[in-house]
Chains A and B, each alone.
Chain A
Amino acid sequence: MRYLLLSSCIFLLAGCSSVYKNLQPATGDINDLQKFKPDFKDVLYKAEIDVVGHHLSGLLLIKTLPDSTIRMVFSTETGYKFFDFAFSPDGGFKVFYVVKQMNKAAVIKTLKKDFELILLPQKNYKSAYLRKDDSNLYYIFPKSKGSFCYITDLKGTEMKIMEISSPHKPIVQAMMKDDFNGVPDTIGISHKNFNFTIGLKKIER
């Protein structure tokens, strides 16, 4: 019985440890990640959302206000607004509008986390740490459940992938491509635990 309890505890502890636990410690400045932070001054994206067999397209406007709050407004091409979210520099989040059909806590929470991932964490994030393996650097930001992780090459010059992980495995992966003056041309967000992807392509106005 004692052995059973002990083995259960070990199993639980192993289950709670980070998905990145087998990586090696790395030295460097975690704030170096800030150079990858996108500069969404005022950008319009064509958005394509696929969720469990349904396809939805629209326009996502991302705009930084004078107080550094970032607003994200999604509307259809024909002008019907679906949501209007605000992400403040101190990590705050506010829903200015969400259409009734989307107004569900789980939907809003999922979108909030997905967008927070691509906005990147703030500087001097408490408890953030660096890890590495043979080819990558891992910038890890623990959250209440799981973590955000940004994977770059060993020199920290190229962002390869951004992840939201549960304690066991990555559950969301995102990429930003063809950055120009800090504004990514293409953004892709993909959920691993259910069929949900967001594709964004910059529109020249």
Chain B
Amino acid sequence: MHKIMLVIFILISGISGIAQPAGYAAVADLPKFKEQFAMVAGKTETIKSDFVQEKNLSMLSEKIVSKGKFWFKRESMLRMEYNTPFEYLMILNKDNMYIKDGQKENKVSTKSSKLFNQINKIIIDCVQGSVFSNPDFIAKAYENKNTYLIELSPASKALKEFFKTIDVIIDKSDYEATTIEMDENSGDNTIIRFTNREINTDIPDAIFAIK
């Protein structure tokens, strides 16, 4: 009998381990959190920040770290400028995307590819606070003492190909996203951490101009 209880206990603890990110518990008052999150995010007109991106290749015990600057402006304008250890510029301006990689420039309409559009929307959704209303993902919310964690599971087969889950960590003090972790099925992941965040400073539209 004790053995059966032990097996049940192990199974239950195993299941809860899978269901909940380590160190987090389900948000106690989910409607309140969503309301608060949407309210603060709704007031976020611009974000200017530095970022550090870490690509972890688990099987190779390898980490590729890159750094750069990040600009966001409502609605749907994003500029990510990588400057270490390589130069790469990506601008998303509504339905258009511009990439400058070395001397090469590339302009794409994200309307031409649904998948492309879904992938690019992820970061905008995370910082704009529209993650809960994005039909491409199923969102769950967790919390610990200082942060909330929104776990996004892709709903479509095409997105599942790229991601197992995407975790967005929100600072409880200001309801802003501080970290985005994109987990692949292989165990590899990409973590983007935002530092030196400046909220609602004036950012001219020219920063996001696609010429």
Contacts and interface: CB of A to CB of B under 8 A. Distances in A.
> Do A and B form a real pair?
yes
Given A61-B62, A80-B119, A99-B161, A73 B57 contact: yes
Contacts of B104: 48, 55, 57
Contacts of B65: 205
Interface in A28-44: 42, 44
Interface stretch (B31-39, B40-48, B82-90, B148-156): B82-90
A148 to B, nearest CB: 27
Interface residues of A, number: 26
A21 B185 CA distance: 50
Interface residues of B, dominant DSSP? strand
Contact of A78 (B60, B90, B161, B184): B90
Contacts of B188: 81
Interface in B160-211: 161-162, 182, 184, 186, 188, 190, 192
- Identify the interface centre among B64, B162, B190: most chain A CB within 10 Å of its CB: B64
A81 B53 CA distance: 14
B106 interface: yes
B154 to A, nearest CB: 13
A63 B58 CA distance: 13
A79 B182 contact: yes
B102 interface: yes
A200 interface: no
A181 B164 CA distance: 39
Nearest to B191: A79
A55 B106 contact: yes
Interface string B90-127: 10000000010110101000000000000100000000
Given A57-B88, A81-B188, 6 more contacts: A57-B102, A71-B59, A79-B190, A81-B184, A203-B85, A205-B64
